[in-house]
Structure 1
Amino acid sequence: MGSDLEKYFEESLQYYNPSASLVEEKAKTLIPESHELHVGPSACARRLSIGAYRRHDEDHITNLYITEEDIVSGSYEDIIPDAIEELLELLEKRPRVIILYVTCIDDLLGTDHEALLMLLKQRFSNIKFITCHIDPIAIDRSIKPGMKMQEQFYSVLDKSDCREKSINLIGNKLQLSNKSEFRNIINSVGWELKEMNSCKTFDEFNDMGKSSLNLVVAPFAKLAAESMKRDLDIPFLMTFSSYDLDTIEENYKKIFKAIEIEMPVLSDYRNRTVKKIKQTVEHLKNMPLVIDSSVIGRSIPLARALDKYGFNVKLVFDGTILFSDVEDLEWLKENRPDIKIADGRNFNMMNMKNSLGDCLCIGFSSGYTLEAKHVVERLPSCFAFGYYGVELLMDRMIQAYDTVADYEKIQEQSEAW
């Protein structure tokens, strides 16, 4: 495959699940004491605005609509500083950070963002500014909008000469679950875990710049960690969230080696998880499994892990092969050619309805497409790192097996999207 990972699937007309955005509900990373200014045509803002209201986040977002006249006249960039001045007069509390979100039309206009940010920093010296793209046409580029967005979020951190006994989680969209063993293990050796989603104030978020180590828990956050190493001198480890017990153990070994502390005995956690996996395999009675990336971001490594545990994995829906997943993909192709890996975005997937009979889908997108009776629609609104993440997935698989999915109800909940 080489470096041409994006071309693993043939280009085709793509099918967009009408409720696909449901799985991202409440899964948005926010900088504390920040405000978002979305700049673009009114049509582009409709979905964003509805989403903000659904998350009860409308006070955090403002839209600046640009007209055809603004675009044609070239005054697009000129109206932003005055709009921010007006926005600051309306807000009850002055934000510490303003995030400018621009749409794909910005690529066509060729906005000089560096010059714009310099102008804004001169005019509003006590506010930090960053720009982020909401850009579907850039989805096939090597550096995707989400990767750049993560990098921009952490770029507001100040460099510190102080190094605390703390570890940053980079790349988790949701806050680490209180039930995860990870935090307890780290706290037990006198260290602290920090994450953007748990910060209440900007100063608390800014203290992440004092941490001694970054853990990259999702592939799309690698760019942000690389920038933080360069700009803040914080080293990082690639410890992607995994459902493979051997990988989980290896991640823990790497973490404790990096902080130069002897790793506690974790066998009790692993043994409990192994027991839960065996119970789930027996409960599902060899039911065919379909996996997509809407619930578990890395569907291919998950497929390999579940196959190793004895589950009957039949199909993987994926649209992009990540650099982190190539080894697992090649292993599946060579050792388990019966597990089909298909482009979940291809419109032909709609022809597969009912083709697998009674099956369980891990991910709403595959469940909706195949009209499966059993679906792990979503995981709880938390980030489950380590052994607890595996146990949580097993619980949800058992629950899905025992329940018939109500797609009409799910659609009613997501009609606004």
Structure 2
Amino acid sequence: MKKEIIALLLAGGVGSRLSILARLRAKPAIPFGGIYRIIDFTMSNVANSNIDVIGVLTQYKPLSLMEHIDNGRPWDLFGKTRLVEILPPKTGEEVSDWYKGTSDAVYQNLGFIEDFSPDIVLILSGDHIYYMDYNKLKDYHMEKKADVTISLIRVPFEQAHHFGIANLDKKGRIIEWVEKPKKPKSNLASMGIYIFNTKVLKNALIESASKGGVDFAKDVIPLILKKRLRVFGYEFNDYWRDVGTIDAYWNCNMDLLRKNSGLNIEHWNIRTNLFIRGEIGAKPSAYIGKYSKVTNSFISAGCIIEGIVENSILSPGVVVEEGARVIDSVVFHNAVVKKNAVLLKTIIDKNVKIGKRAFIGYGDALPNKILGMNLSTGITVIGKNTILPEGIIVGKNCIISSGIDLSKSRLKKIESGSTL
């Protein structure tokens, strides 16, 4: 089946900087904005750009991600000529192994590309929040007669060392490329979005792999630039966020509640799979009690609100009991906040229970003793299925791991910066 363009979506990342949020699931599968998952944004961009074949390359803890993607039906990528195919590593074969990096994952799936004989291949990341019409990127690629086009965005100079950084000439051609430079000369950062002419991609992957290369930014792009092929930068100027840290993830969720943040899900036509276990499809409408108060918040279906919710995002099935307060927080599916408990700037994973009169997010914002400055802005994170007892006080910048039951513990206080 011949296609002009197909997409490959890299969705196997570990997401280690997101700590316990990514410990039991792949980073792209992390809930976002109440009813969505991070991968929904890239999947919706593909569908909205009328690209109808996409391979999703999975690896780390893929089950919830595979269940969410299903067969592509939520994005109308299902039928005789429309396809979403999950592409896990082909472990157990003599010539194959776990994916060792981004380019190695695509290299191991050259056969999938060849099945559709595309003229160009779009390489995407599944862990960013943004809206893009990939047709504009494709048109730019064709107009420049490029061999490779990399989508770029300007970031603050103090953050540039986290990204692949490009320098362009006046015509937009990349003349210098440095992966995560210590002293960046530019703030034009890679978005992890590439368009390749298929022949160029295939040859570069084969040569890079023969030299031990496994990564697009570190190995493949430098290799292509050395050959003096036509590599161009496409500067993107709209909303885009890398949610690779707890602070970035929390802030991006809060952007949904901030006026003029640029994050506008309704206008972006972002779609999700609502009809899987525990998601919104089986939930009744939210109930907001007579004496409750909800201010500048996103309340999903199935929530029961008897207390106060301010500037927060609640996924389906969350319960906030009478006298409880949820402020500046992100609460995942089916969590329960008991009477007179307080959540302040907290991220709570699925099925967590917060006991009566507990206070989460109390005290000074001392950096986390393990994550350091990667968790230093006052956010506390509580892992999936954890139970906290009545009256417990938990400080800021704390990590409480998944599956811990403290309901029978005598523990009364967890100091700021602690990891449990």
TM value normalised by structure 2:
0.28
Relative contact order higher in (CA < 8 Å, ≥ 6 apart): 1
> Is the helix fraction higher in 1 or 2?
1
TM value normalised by structure 1:
0.29
> Is the strand fraction higher in 1 or 2?
2
